[in-house]
Structure 1
Amino acid sequence: MGSSANWSTTSSSPPDPRRLRWWPWALLVAVLLAGVRAAGLWGGKAWAPLLPLGFVGMTLLPWWWLDAGQRAEMGWQRAQGRWVYLKAAALGLGLSLAVFLVFLAAFGLGPDHAYVTVAEAFRRQVPAGLGAPVLVAMFTLPARLFSPVGEEVFFRGLLPWTLSARFGQRWATALECAMFGTVHLLHHGLIFHAATGELTLRPLSGALWVFCMMGVAWMFSRVRQRSGSLFPAMLCHAAFNLGMAACLFLEVWPRLPK
């Protein structure tokens, strides 16, 4: 897919000293963004706009912290060739189908299937009586834009770029994949009951979801590292979300309780 940018601290040039100071702040920002995500997902319709706003914040962070050269090193630059984008899109679609089938084999289309949880959460956020085309558009447009751009800029760009100065590229990738997987417990695995304010955990399906999301994050990271660009990773992520939407509306949605 092309040459990858080298973030490793073992290269001949020492890392930018600012990166050595920034990595604790990057971790703190990751925790704060997780809190924003939780509020957007669990706070009801009034708090729902916080979810896309959190993704917008992820996208804008490098323009606050980094200069143009650092953003290019992070991956904000074009990838060479068209095949890298086609392969990334195909990979994303395949990953979304694979996750759907893994959960289907393990739990069926019951409440422990992650895509069922996503569908139920989405249904609680939208007005009743909307037609299928409107529902599909409401789900897929943000899923193809806000999440792929924001999460890839942060989790495959800014976060590993700062962490690699302290831990090296391999551990930086492992950390960002672990954080990406863990934060997705907010989408499935950790269940917030608004009426009582209690949290419950689905340990088996939640653990499988984290494991799957860590694997998906690792594949996104490979796309970014091999292409030297965040843009194929964004497309891979958008294709994953589009594939999830297809599974959700073709297989899950018709089976939800009325």
Structure 2
Amino acid sequence: MESELKPFWSKFFNFNWKFGLFLILLFCIPRFILVLNANETSNYKFIGLIMTIYGFTPFIFLTKHGRKIIGLTKPKNYKWLFYAFIIGLTFSFILYFLGDLIYQSSFENWYVYIEKSYNIPNEINLNDKLILFAITAMTGMIFSPIGEEFLFRGIIHSSFAKSIGDFKASIVDSSAFALTHISHFGLVFINNEWHFFAFPTMIWVLSMFVVSVLFYICRRKSKSILGAVLCHSAFNLGMTYCFFYMMN
């Protein structure tokens, strides 16, 4: 039987839930701390590095067979790539309207808090704004979707699925993804003080859990991790559009 893990890692792990838990602890805890620090210092240069490292995890840990197992394959259902994009884009706008309905322009609105990290100038002409939007959107559509989907819907999901099946594995990887995003909104740094918005955080975490499950569904339906990546990319595109054109 072919091994999913490269020989070095096979000395320490089997491709199962223990390996998946190892990856969650190894990658999610440092990322959580670094994002909180970035929110405090407004220095986000390490976040792109984290996503790049995430994107390399299948090539660091897995054999060619293992990469195939996690969905690094050619899609078998191309129409689901289109559906994936529409689903991700739609959910990003639903999350915008939900936050605006409940919390308007207060920092309890997850989009309002996250938008401030984008440092969009108040005085910017339409041409420059479009250029900045295009650059920001392209960055958001490439780095975190590839990195996070390769890690969460790819290697973490598949290692847990080997032990507990796809449904329960989806609950695990979605929970890890959602809880990690408390560092983006939940624990918030405002006016040089840390705050915790309990109920808004619950909504945000639940939303991240739901969208994570949607990413997995798109992976499963398309028979490729590309389905999850496209859904995630579209979600980030919609979120960035909201920051630039619906909140500014």
- Aligned amino acid, residue 34 of structure 2: V
State percent identity of aligned pairs. Answer: 23
Aligned residues of 1:140 and 1:241 also touching (Cα < 8 A): yes
- 2:142 pairs, out of 139, 142, 145, with 145
**1:87 equivalent in structure 2:** 83
1:217 equivalent to 2:212? Answer yes
5+ residue gaps, structure 2, are 1-12
Give the CA deviation at 1:156: 0.5
Aligned residues of 1:97 and 1:244 also touching (Cα < 8 A): yes
Give the CA deviation at 1:99: 0.9
- 2:169 pairs, out of 165, 168, 172, with 172
**2:188 equivalent in structure 1:** 191
- 1:250 pairs, out of 238, 245, 248, with 245
- 1:163 pairs, out of 160, 163, 166, with 160
CA distance in 1, matches of 2:68, 2:189: 39
Give the CA deviation at 1:173: 0.9
Aligned residues: 231
**2:60 equivalent in structure 1:** 64
| CA deviations over 1:27-65 (Å, ceiling 9, x no partner) | 2223233333333443333xx211011000100011111
CA distance in 1, matches of 2:164, 2:32: 22
Change (3 A) 1:23 1:80: closer
- Aligned amino acid, residue 33 of structure 1: R
| Superposed counterparts of 1:36-51, under 5 Å | 36-45=34-43, 48-51=44-47
- Aligned amino acid, residue 144 of structure 1: M
Give the CA deviation at 1:142: 1.4
Q: CA RMSD in A?
A: 2.1
- 1:116 pairs, out of 77, 87, 112, with 112
CA distance in 1, matches of 2:177, 2:21: 17
TM-score by length of 2: 0.85
**1:9 equivalent in structure 2:** none
| CA deviations over 1:183-236 (Å, ceiling 9, x no partner) | 1112212113584xx531011211111111111111111111222211011111
SS in 1 for 2:165: helix
CA distance in 1, matches of 2:214, 2:195: 30
5+ residue gaps, structure 1, are 1-16, 254-258
